[in-house]
Each structure stands twice: as structure tokens, then as C-alpha cells.
Amino acid sequence: MVKIRLKRLGYKKNPSYRIVAIDSRSKREGAPIEELGYYNPKTKEMKLNVERAKSRLSQGAQASETVMYLINNANADGTLNYKKTETKKLSKKAQAKLEQEKANAETAAAETEAPAEANA
């Protein structure tokens, strides 16, 4: 069975991967049937031949979970469509203060709406 999976390259603690179509019985760094592109998880840099990957999938190849994610999120030119989500980590004091401000804003909004409804 043909699988589309990642082939690890790079030195210790600095991985980069090639996206390859390979026989499922061969080892991770074995000789691939076809190289479809590359992916660097540290820099989120990717180049993928999407057309060839989809044709391999239509021929019955099984993609690994990570490769399926990369194929689905690839742009038309084969680059990764990566959206970085920025989350702020707040201390417990800051979280409590933020919740208090939200509660105050909600009560103020409710008070402004109540007199308007009474006048009508």
C-alpha cells in the first residue's frame, strides 16, 4: 500500500521534512516512490505539489494525519495557509479584573436599556 507521509531530515532538535509517497512497509527514511514537497515546522515554510498529491490520493494512497492537514491547508501555489492565533496569557489578577470590567459593562448596558423601555 502506498502512503503519503513525512520523511524526517535535519539535525538534532531542528527537524525539516520531505513529503513523500512511499511503500508503507519501508522505513521512515527509505527510498520514496515520489517526492511531493517539503515542510519546515519551525518556520512554517512549505512547498507542495498539490496536484500530484491529490492524484496520488485518488489512486488509493493513504495520507498520514499531518500530511492530510498540510494538503487541506495548502494554497494553490503549494505554500501553507497558516493562521497564527495570538493568545495572551493573563495572571489571575488580570483575569479577575477583566471579568469585573465585563460584568460592569453588561450592567451599565442593561440599565440604559431599562429606562428606554419604561418611557415607551
| pLDDT, tens digit (0-9, with 9 covering 90-100), for 10-48 | 999 999 999 999 998 988 788 889 999 999 989 888 999
C-alpha to C-alpha distance for 77 and 25, rounded to whole angstroms: 31
Query: 56-96, pLDDT tens digit by residue?
Result: 999 999 999 999 999 888 888 888 887 777 777 888 888 89
C-alpha to C-alpha distance for 49 and 82, rounded to whole angstroms: 17
Would you call 119 helix, strand, or coil by DSSP?
helix
Which residues contact residue 74 at a Cβ distance below 8 angstroms, ignoring those fewer than 6 apart? Answer: 46, 48, 50, 80, 81
